[in-house]
Amino acid sequence: MRAMRAEGFSGYKDLKLVDIPKPAVSDGRVLARITAAGVTPLEHTILSGGYPRAKAPLVLGGEGAGVVEEGGGTAFPAGSRVMFTGPYGVSENGAYSEWLAVRKENLCLIPDNISDLSAAGVPVAYLTAQMTLSLAGFAKGKTVLAPAIGGSVGNAVTQLARARGAKHAISTTTNHAKAQQARSLGFDEVIDLSEEKLSDGVRRITGGYGADIVIDAIGGEILSEALGTLAMGGSLTTLGYSAGRKATIDVTDLIWKRANMKSFSLFAQPAEVWITAWKVIFPLLQSGAVKPIVAKTFPLAQAADALRYLIESRPFGRVVLTI
């Protein structure tokens, strides 16, 4: 079968189209014919040598969508359309391939109204969004800030919070054109950081109240600024570092507001948390209350170009490989 495999971790040039054996079905695994694979910043980190757990040669791709061929039992009968994420593309071969043997517990059926292309970019972002909101104590009427609209987590948190009854679902961008695009897509509480400070924007939107929950997927300077927007008793969750691994914080933003700050890792969450999260996400996808956004697709053989586009162009929405 065809696959895009990292032969080393020295950059885009190491990602090669190869022919490797089709995986076999084994206990607890479901053989899926992959139709689409989500492209994420993690693949760029791995390909750049920044993720020590990964070992070359390695087929990349941590999430995707496909059709069950065998091994799915009654839960996922042959022909079922499924989406998935897991350790694929990190500790074992991943979704940049024509077939993959996926652990049954990592699968979720795709709602009929969602295409495979859209579904391929759902698992990581929407599971992360739902789990972090839940762990932060989200409830109807809360105010949520998720910086970086257009990014996968920024989009997913904002959509889920709004669909589940947030009083305010706020995001940000440093790009005026992206702010306008966000508003045209229905994200009506986006702070344009080229025109307004984050703290001023949150104060304006909330009438001075602040954010009950901040889900920060980018790190760097934005983390410290977002911490300052917390309301009394608020919570900030940090889970990414595309804008920088280091941040300087004002500890009084935590102490005086009796706030808290925590980290999050999707793949450290227990199975029951995944099950609960999917039970929330699936009906919202099914009803159209949340709508995955795909920015651009690339064929499998152009995976390096897809990664470069994701990292360098910072598109609004997901980048997806068609297989």
297-318 burial: b if 16+ Cβ within 10 Å, else e: bbebebbbebbbbbbeebbbbb
Q: pLDDT band at 242, cuts 50/70/90?
A: confident
Task: Look up residue 170 and give its two tokens.
Answer: 């706020």
pLDDT at 26 over 90: no
Q: pLDDT band at 34, cuts 50/70/90?
A: very high
What average pLDDT score do residues 32-51 get?
Answer: 96
Q: Give the pLDDT confidence score for residue 21 in this predicted structure.
A: 97
**Helix axis angle, 271-287 to 123-135, nearest 10°:** 110
What average pLDDT score do residues 16-31 get?
Answer: 95
Matching residue, tokens 């706020």: 170
Q: Give the pLDDT confidence score for residue 1 in this predicted structure.
A: 98
| β-sheet bridge partners, residue 70 | 31
**CATH code at 126-267:** 3.40.50.720
Query: Which of 235, 239, 145 lies closest to 193 in space, CA to CA?
Result: 145
Instruction: Quick: pLDDT tens for 283-305.
Output: 999 999 999 999 999 999 999 99
What average pLDDT score do residues 130-148 get?
Answer: 98
pLDDT at 27 over 90: no
Class of domain 2-122+292-322: alpha beta
Residue % of the chain over a pLDDT of 90: 96
Query: Which of 10, 87, 97 lies closest to 46 in space, CA to CA?
Result: 10
pLDDT at 78 over 90: yes
**CA 111, CA 282: separation in Å to the nearest integer?**
7
What average pLDDT score do residues 49-72 get?
Answer: 96
**What are the domain boundaries of the chain?**
2-122+292-322, 126-267
Query: Which of 38, 60, 36, 37 lies closest to 47 in space, CA to CA?
Result: 60
Q: What is the pTM of this model?
A: 0.96
Which residues fall within 8 angstroms of residue 109, CB to CB, at 6 or more apart? 76, 80, 81, 82, 282
pLDDT at 48 over 90: yes
